[in-house]
Structure 1
Amino acid sequence: MLYNALLSLTALMFCLSLFLLHRASVLENDFRNLQGDVILQLNQPRSEGVNGKRAKMSKTREDIKPSVFQKAQSSVKISSRRVKREQSSCRAPTSFLQLRAKTNKQPVLKGNITAIPWTVSLQQGNTISLKENRIVVQDDGYYLVFGQVLFETPNEVMGYIIQSWGSIQAGPRTELLCCLQDMPDEDPANTCYTAGTVRLFQNEELELVIPNRPSVLISLDSESTFFGVIQLN
């Protein structure tokens, strides 16, 4: 009886082995077929995709090249305009001249006017210069003329004028600017400042003088008494 049971079990195991072998063979064939289909599907789209992508990339590059070129041209134009603006805005440095009173010399009386001896304090450009204690301009144009004097004479109305000389085009004018200062009785120390924009012509000379005050007392410090011209155009 035991022998029959073992024989039946052996037959059953043999049949099960054959069945498993068959299923394994079927699965292997299915896997190979599926693998072939997958490879076929992948190869065909990949080829088309690569070609399509290359074509698309080529087309994109063709589309991009004009755009990049246009942007480069636009950038060059903008840079060119910027350079032109900078060139047009660049001009010769503005000329100016500021004088200060000489500390080692006292004001000089000439007839009924008193002149302050000047020396150059600040200067830029060659349009404005100092000549024989007068400011001389070399170009026609508009200029800012300014002056200040610190008076120390009591009980007087002190002041000065800035007058013009030497230019035929300027005509008969002599007085350009004027400044007056009423001085106090005690501790007299008042500055008299004036400034104005005037049109000057080539070789016109400007002079700051104090009229009708032969006994004038002034400060000769550079921060207190000065005279100058700035070219505006």
Structure 2
Amino acid sequence: MCDLTHLSNLRTSVCLTSLTMLYNALLSLTAFMFCLSLFLVHRASVLENDFRKLQGDIILQLNQPRSEGVNGKVAKMSKTREDIKPSTLQKAQSSAKIFSRRVKREQGSCRAPTSFLQLTANTNKQPDIRGNIAVIPWTVSVQQGNAISQKENRIVVQEDGYYLVFGQVLFERPSTVVGYIIQSWGSANKGTSTELLCCLQDMPDETPPNSANTCYTAGLVQLQQDDELELVIPYKPEVLITMDVETFFGVIQLN
């Protein structure tokens, strides 16, 4: 009987001890959770204050003008070139170069094509003799643009500017000196001509009778609208002018 009573008391004591330990554990856990909650509330409050401060700085930065006047002059921007990272600066420079090349390419594509005109001797006709000069009858070989045109045996300039003028004549049975003159008839002073280029070919007397040679010249000249260019040859009966592709006359617009 005593043993049963002792055993019952022992069980009761163990249960009470277990309940006490469980209670203490729950109490400790509750205290820990309470402290954790207080810490989280404090951190949330700190983060909210930081967020509000950052938001205020951003709004202030956005509302701030890009530049301010200083004594009537525009103040420098807050960030100088030295403040920018090298990589960022290099990327910006590269983008600027690409944009510049693109703009130049687009401008070049919109530019009007260069005008030029080349005449060759008309093989179906003979040189026109006018007193002491000979004029070659021309026909258009190649032409582009509207700044240069043909009028009878002359080249007419339609726009002011600089031009490359060139010509060549193939002579046969030349005498001592052969050549030609490229002259301009200005629109302002019609009736008078201006010598632009001159080509002379000196052939020695011992040159074989059936020999041939070309006389070529070219130069840059400034021409006005409606100027007319003409190639004339001092006439010599003993000199034959070859009406061939080797004889030509032309103008190229440079600007």
Q: TM-score category by the smaller chain?
A: 0.5 to 0.7
Moved more, 26-35 or 168-177: 168-177
1:117 partner letter: P
For the pair 1:47 / 2:67, whether they are aligned, the reply is no
1:74 is matched with none
Structure-to-structure mapping, 1:193-232, within 5 angstroms: 193-214=216-237, 215-218=239-242, 220-221=244-245, 224-232=246-254
How far 1:113 sits from its partner (Å)? 2.7
Structure-to-structure mapping, 1:1-233, within 5 angstroms: 15-64=13-62, 66=64, 93=112, 96-110=115-129, 111-120=131-140, 121-126=142-147, 128-149=148-169, 151=170, 153-154=172-173, 156=175, 157-169=177-189, 174-181=194-201, 185=208, 190-214=213-237, 215-218=239-242, 220-221=244-245, 224-232=246-254
Q: Look up the SS of the partner of 2:252 in the other structure.
A: strand
2:172 partner letter: T
How far 1:31 sits from its partner (Å)? 1.0
How far 1:114 sits from its partner (Å)? 2.7
Judge conservation of contact 1:94–1:230 (CA < 8 Å) in 2.
no
Structure 2's unaligned 5+ residue stretches are 68-76, 78-95
1:45 partner letter: R
How far 1:22 sits from its partner (Å)? 1.8
2:138 partner letter: W
CA distance in 2, matches of 1:186, 1:11: 156
Aligned-residue identity in percent = 42
Q: Look up the SS of the partner of 1:114 in the other structure.
A: strand
Distance 1:225 1:9, change over 3 A: farther
How far 1:29 sits from its partner (Å)? 0.9
How far 1:42 sits from its partner (Å)? 0.7
| TM-score, scaled to structure 1 | 0.67
Q: CA RMSD in A?
A: 4.2
2:33 partner letter: Q
Moved more, 7-16 or 116-125: 7-16
1:43 partner letter: V
**What number of residue pairs does the alignment pair up?**
213
How far 1:207 sits from its partner (Å)? 0.6
Judge conservation of contact 1:135–1:207 (CA < 8 Å) in 2.
yes
| TM-score, scaled to structure 2 | 0.62
How far 1:162 sits from its partner (Å)? 0.6
How far 1:205 sits from its partner (Å)? 1.7
How far 1:167 sits from its partner (Å)? 4.2
Distance 1:206 1:103, change over 3 A: closer
CA distance in 2, matches of 1:226, 1:66: 71
